[in-house]
Structure 1
Amino acid sequence: MNFRTLACAAGLLIAGSPAFANEFEAELTALANSQMAEIAGSDIVVAAVKARNTETAAFDQAQIDALDTAWRSELDSNDQPMIDEVLDNELSLHLLDIQDSSDGLFTEIFVMDAKGLNVGQSDVTSDYWQGDEAKWQDTYGKGAGAILIGELEQDDSTQLLQSQVSLSITDPDSGEPIGAITFGVNVEKL
């Protein structure tokens, strides 16, 4: 992306133009159908989601809300056993390796189970339950092969233009959705 395109993008972003959110849709969709789909369908991602789905299958909304509340309370605490458990699991370390080797393309990656609960993530998310958000509802909830391209946003801390791209995770044996994955994408690296 050249300076003029970036300046134009920033101007449209400030003006709040919803049309700009789709300027990178073709590139993001192509990325979702290639590299992201490969990651989502990898053995480590599928196995981790299947295992977590077994653990959380019987959770009701009260249990989900309690987990989400516990996660949020740990965000500002020095004692973070729940967050540490997720960040230190095999899937999270794998996702962090992918993010680190993406040359800045991926700003975050996180995986959700069939309830919308975090299974693994490259960095801490602000909440544990994503099931009330479009990134889970419009992927897992829509079935196998679903892709959601989020709006273009400027990150306040990094000043990067980025978009979230979410995909359903599919069980290769049954063809059924088992979870979802979200990638933060630095569109300047497309």
Structure 2
Amino acid sequence: MTRSLVSALALAIVPHMAFASDFDSAMQTFVDENASAWLQSEVLISAITNQNQDTGSFDATMIETLDTQWRSEVGSASELIDGVLINSAADFLRERVAESNGQITEVFVMDALGLNVAASGATSDYWQGDEDKFQKTFPMGAGATHFSEVEFDESSQTYQAQISITIADPATQSPIGAITIGIDAESLM
């Protein structure tokens, strides 16, 4: 490779890396100033702990069945979806969205299997366990945080990034679930 080609590639990559670093820094500030306090909320801890007791024995077949059911019922009245959207933990999450003045586009909490526990609005699927938002947080232990890339979100019609964080039992610091917060990317710049 010629020296000029290497220089051109470096010039193209460095601004992107600097932008990504600035964006990650802005997301970390959001976590520190807002979301970290939510992770200790009794309403979220109780909801996750209770669901872990109910879903702890679910196998892959059960998870797939529930995820398929969820996907087919999104947009209609459903006991499964209502169980995630109509509870005190979901109310807590919607309050956080309302307080954000548009900065938060969505927020949802998952159990130890990556199944939805509570959400500010219906997600496209019930099982998050096969996605980075869960795989790069919960298995990594207490304090693990994952920042997604900025992407266009069809449901909110905004460019957003997702911040995902492991939620741990406050008494033992053992992971019990995870939270994902969708952030309007423009609000971080």
% identical equivalent positions: 42
Partner residue in 1 for 2:6: none
**3-state SS in 2 of match to 1:24:** helix
More displaced 10-residue stretch of structure 1: 121-130 or 94-103: 94-103
Instruction: Decide whether the 8 Å contact of 1:21 with 1:152 is kept in 2.
Output: no
| Large movers: runs of 4+ above 6 Å | none
Residue 178 of structure 2 corresponds to residue 180 of structure 1 = yes
Query: What SS is found at the alignment partner of 2:181?
Result: strand
> Which one has the largest radius of gyration?
2
Q: Which has the higher contact order (CA 8 A, sep 6+)?
A: 1
State the Cα distance separating 1:71 from its structure 2 match.
Answer: 0.4
Correspondent of 1:141 among 131, 139, 144: 139
Match of 2:4 in 1: none
Report the residue type matching 1:184 in the other structure: G
Q: How many residues align?
A: 174
What is the RMSD computed on CA atoms of the aligned residues? 1.9
Contact persistence 1:170–1:177 (CA under 8 A): yes
Per the alignment, in what secondary structure is the counterpart of residue 129 of structure 1? Answer: coil
Which ranges of structure 1 fall in alignment gaps of 5 or more residues? 1-11
Q: Which deviations, in whole Å up to 9, do the C-alpha atoms of 1:96-118 show, x marking residues without a partner? A: 11101111111000000000000
Give the deviation of 1:41 after TM superposition: 1.8
Match of 2:120 in 1: 122
Task: Give the deviation of 1:18 after TM superposition.
Answer: 6.5
In structure 1, what is the Cα distance between the partners aligned to 2:171 and 2:155?
42
Contact 1:111–1:120 (8 Å) recurs in 2? yes
TM-score, length basis structure 2: 0.85
Which residue is equivalent to 1:72? 71
Give yes or no for contact 1:32–1:147 (8 Å, CA) kept in 2. no
Residues 67-106 of structure 1, C-alpha deviation per residue, up to 9 Å, x if partnerless?
1011011025x34221122111111111111101111111
1:157 and 1:87 mapped to 2: Cα distance?
16
Distance 1:154 1:65 in 2: 27
Moved more, 30-39 or 53-62: 30-39
TM-score, length of structure 1 as denominator length: 0.85
1:84 corresponds to which letter in structure 2?
D
Kindly report which structure 2 residues correspond to 1:36-75, keeping only aligned pairs within 5 A, or say none.
Answer: 36-75=35-74
